């Protein structure tokens, strides 16, 4: 027969740290700073639609040389698209 419950109760009674963790309020989440979007230029020949890997936002490049602001979270995956070039400031 298992006495897991008995051992758990012993730990609760002996460990003030356990009681503090269990009885504490959740920590407030830190404020999240939004990173600025990143500019990309389309270098292909026709048009291109790409879906951001994180935000799932649809980005449409209508013609060669078209530039779009891409959410920072999606920029990493856009760098993997051969016909998109990141524009630096």
At residue 34, the pLDDT reads 82
In 1-89, alpha helices (H): 4-14, 16-23, 72-78
- 8 Å CB contact between 40 and 78: yes
Q: For the chain, report the end-to-end CA distance as a whole number of angstroms.
A: 69
Q: Which residues make beta-bridge pairs with 86?
A: 40
Q: What is the pLDDT of residues 2-25, one digit of tens each?
A: 666 677 677 666 656 555 555 556
Residues of the chain scoring pLDDT < 70? 1-5, 8, 11-33, 89
Give me the pLDDT at residue 88, please.
81
DSSP string, 47-82: -EEEE-TTT--EEEE-STT-EEEE-HHHHHHHTTST
pLDDT of residue 67: 97
- Percentage of the chain lying above the pLDDT 90 cut: 60
pTM > 0.85: no
């Amino acid at each position: 027969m298992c006495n897991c419950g008995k051992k758990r109760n012993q730990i609760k009674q002996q460990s003030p740290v356990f009681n503090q963790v269990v009885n504490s309020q959740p920590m407030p989440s830190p404020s999240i700073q939004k990173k600025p979007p990143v500019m990309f230029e389309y270098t292909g020949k026709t048009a291109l639609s790409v879906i951001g890997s994180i935000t799932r936002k649809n980005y449409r490049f209508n013609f060669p040389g078209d530039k779009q602001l891409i959410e920072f979270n999606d920029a990493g995956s856009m760098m993997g698209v051969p016909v998109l070039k990141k524009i630096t400031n």
